[in-house]
Amino acid sequence: MARGDKTLTLTMAQALVRYLVAQRIEIDGREHPLFPAVFAIFGHGNVTCLGEALYEVRDRLPTWRGQNEQSMALAAVAYAKARLRRQVCIATSSAGPGATNMVTAAALAHANRLPLLILAGDTFTSRLPDPVLQQVEQFHNPSVSVNDAFRAVTRYWDRIAAPEQLLQSLPQVVETLLDPADCGPAFLGLPQDTQARACDYPAEFFEPRLHRIRRPRPDSKDLAEAAAAVTAARKPLIVAGGGLHYSGAAAELAAFAEGRGVPVVETLAGRALLPHDHPLNAGPIGPTGSHSANALAREADLVLALGTRLQDFVTASWTAFQNPEMRLVAINAARFDAAKHRALAVVGDAKAALGELDPLLGDWSAPPDWTGRARDLYRSWNAALEERTAPTNSLPSYAQVIGAANRASGREDRVLTAAGGMPAELNTNWKAKGIASVDIEFGYSCMGYEVAGGWGAAMARDDAGAPGETFVLVGDGSYLIMNSDIYSSVLAGHKMIVIVCDNQGFAVINKLQNNSGNESFNNLLEDCRIEKFVNVDFAGHARAMGAEAESVSSVAELEAALERARAASGTYVIAVKVDKDIWTEGDAWWEVGIPEVSARESVLAAGRQWDEGRRHQRRGI
């Protein structure tokens, strides 16, 4: 029998799992499994067939049981981010509510350009048992199931209606997950009868395959145009985005900036591309960024945007760059991102593009007075940062909590946060010590990512054999939305240090409410319709899930608790009361909708203030 004639008789579910196990990835010259873990909650749509197949490979593809489908998929995303998109985790659920719980996680992965493979049970292709348990019937179209909801939030979507379809679909899934431009979540709907069906698959389909991340080179003419724009600049500024992390270009960024004297500002996703004390680091940019970065952005005549999708918290809703002569050069692996806002687009890998752009610049460098101005601004901003984060005897502010955690962290540690007031405070107050050590999920700003993401990031650290701690900073609002992966981390043995900042409500949205001229309403607990106020014992709650935990009320107590947390062997939760009214104020504008008609003069006044901000918006696509 010829090599291509050999077949294996497998169910669709068995074939799917066997193929995933066979995929390998090269990372720093070493071979690793492309799919290192499955996060699973089993039900009638995925336990009998997919569960049976996963059991057979449990030593090669570990299956971890989550507590909530959304949170386990968020953990999978955080794992991929911690591994810089080199490894991809799988999240699987039954049909119905288990599947739709993962739609939010898919949206987060899509917005952040992060890989995630979702496998969800589906209804029967035969339709003979319809309507089945958890099926939502569509009167006008029986081919539609709740899994069609994933179409809007995935890069690749397919429903495997016949076992043979795996032969075409699975290679496309892997290509999507690893593509530097189109990277994002992939979804496969798995009808229950199709999972069980046997098929004779070509044996070579399951042979090990070693993948490498492609590094697409930019067009030479685009590079030449970019070089001409850069060398004409007198006030150049680099905006460094998260794509540089995934390109592995942190060292190239530092070398380029040092060689050319160009100040670097970081996006939220690009935090920790340069250490805090790097001489060309000018701070994070945007409404949640630094005064130094925003001042430079307002003056810059050339913005070199590297690996960023130019989200509104980077561009200050496109008011950050106010020099009328400013030229935007965008280097990005994704055409969609490179071409935004009339940019001179250079489509290609950032590491490759920087390496090819640099020789085209000749002996050009930024004027020394511009580089010096950036250093002076950054020095001034750092003095304010030190003052904000210094401990006092009063009720701690967010900045002081972050300062304490920062002082307790080392170069090998990773800090993670997401929604609420914490991203802004962490972005502007965290002094990065190690490269790629900060995860601020602000692409989708998803409440609940924090604890779940901490579990995934801690797992990634342990799987890689890397030293260091995983710090999770979470507000009381996000904690109450999703906290069950404290239990997951305890069960699995993946340690994280969770700091819960309790200001008794959604305080940052209350701040926005007030800043827009509105009265406090339905955000802080004191302003909600409640019958009885209850102080949540966050430490007691965490202890009930098996973590070590304590409550503190001052920065000094927090610092002592962090020492105990570092010494602990497992997950440690520290609850700290924080001041709800003290915030680190930025100086960049951000657009929100303000009512044009209102009975409140304060709302109308806020509208006039926002109208003034809109005068500075850059017009573009």
* Statement to judge: residues 507 and 562 lie in one domain: yes
Tokens of 237: 């500024």
Q: What is the mean pLDDT of residues 468-479?
A: 97
Cα–Cα distances (Å) from 101 to 71, 94, 173, 260, 607, in that order, read 9, 10, 21, 48, 37
Domain limit, last residue, from 211, 237, 254: 211
Cα 336 from Cα 370, distance rounded (Å): 31
> Which one, of 404, 379, 358, lies nearest residue 556 by Cα?
404
Q: What does the mean pLDDT of the chain come to?
A: 96
Q: Which residues contact 593 (CB under 8 A, 6 or more apart)?
A: none
In the predicted structure, residue 621 carries a pLDDT above the cut 80 = no
- CATH number reported for the structural domain that contains residue 408 in this entry: 3.40.50.970
In the predicted structure, residue 2 carries a pLDDT above the cut 90 = no
Reported as a single tens digit per residue, the pLDDT across 480-512 is 999 999 999 999 999 999 999 999 999 999 999
Q: How many residues does the chain have?
A: 621
* Statement to judge: residues 197 and 226 lie in one domain: no
* Statement to judge: residues 229 and 323 lie in one domain: yes
Q: Which helix (H) or strand (E) holds 27?
A: strand 23-27
In a domain, 594, yes or no: no
* Statement to judge: residues 451 and 313 lie in one domain: no
Domain limit, last residue, from 154, 177, 211: 211
Q: What is the pLDDT of residue 619?
A: 75
Q: What is the pLDDT of residue 466?
A: 94
pLDDT range class, residue 125, cuts 50, 70, 90: very high
Cα 331 from Cα 347, distance rounded (Å): 6
**90 with 115: CB under 8 angstroms?**
no
In a domain, 590, yes or no: no
Q: What is the pLDDT of residue 310?
A: 95
**Could you say which DSSP state residue 261 is in?**
T
In a domain, 609, yes or no: no
Reported as a single tens digit per residue, the pLDDT across 293-326 is 999 999 999 999 999 999 999 999 999 999 999 9
Cα 82 from Cα 75, distance rounded (Å): 10
* Statement to judge: residues 516 and 447 lie in one domain: yes
% pLDDT > 70, the chain? 99
Residue ranges of the alpha helices (H) in 409-463?
A: 422-429, 449-463
* Statement to judge: residues 413 and 505 lie in one domain: yes
Cis peptide leading into 131, omega within 30 of 0?
yes
The structure's pTM equals 0.96
pLDDT range class, residue 135, cuts 50, 70, 90: confident
Tokens of 431: 């002094």
> What is the full DSSP assignment across 475-507?
EHHHHHHS-THHHHHHHHT---EEEEEE-SB-H
In a domain, 252, yes or no: yes
Domain count, the chain: 3
Q: What is the mean pLDDT of residues 116-144?
A: 93
* Statement to judge: residues 152 and 259 lie in one domain: no
Domain limit, last residue, from 539, 554, 577: 577
In a domain, 373, yes or no: yes
* Statement to judge: residues 191 and 81 lie in one domain: yes
Q: What is the pLDDT of residue 486?
A: 98
In a domain, 585, yes or no: no
Residue ranges of the alpha helices (H) in 307-439?
A: 312-315, 335-338, 350-357, 368-389, 398-408, 422-429
* Statement to judge: residues 243 and 375 lie in one domain: yes
In the predicted structure, residue 160 carries a pLDDT above the cut 50 = yes
**562 with 403: CB under 8 angstroms?**
no
* Statement to judge: residues 331 and 205 lie in one domain: no
* Statement to judge: residues 374 and 394 lie in one domain: no
Q: Which domain holds residue 230?
A: 220-380
* Statement to judge: residues 149 and 227 lie in one domain: no
Cα 175 from Cα 173, distance rounded (Å): 6
Q: What is the pLDDT of residue 586?
A: 83
In a domain, 410, yes or no: yes
Q: What is the mean pLDDT of residues 278-305?
A: 97
Q: What is the pLDDT of residue 1?
A: 37
- CATH number reported for the structural domain that contains residue 363 in this entry: 3.40.50.1220
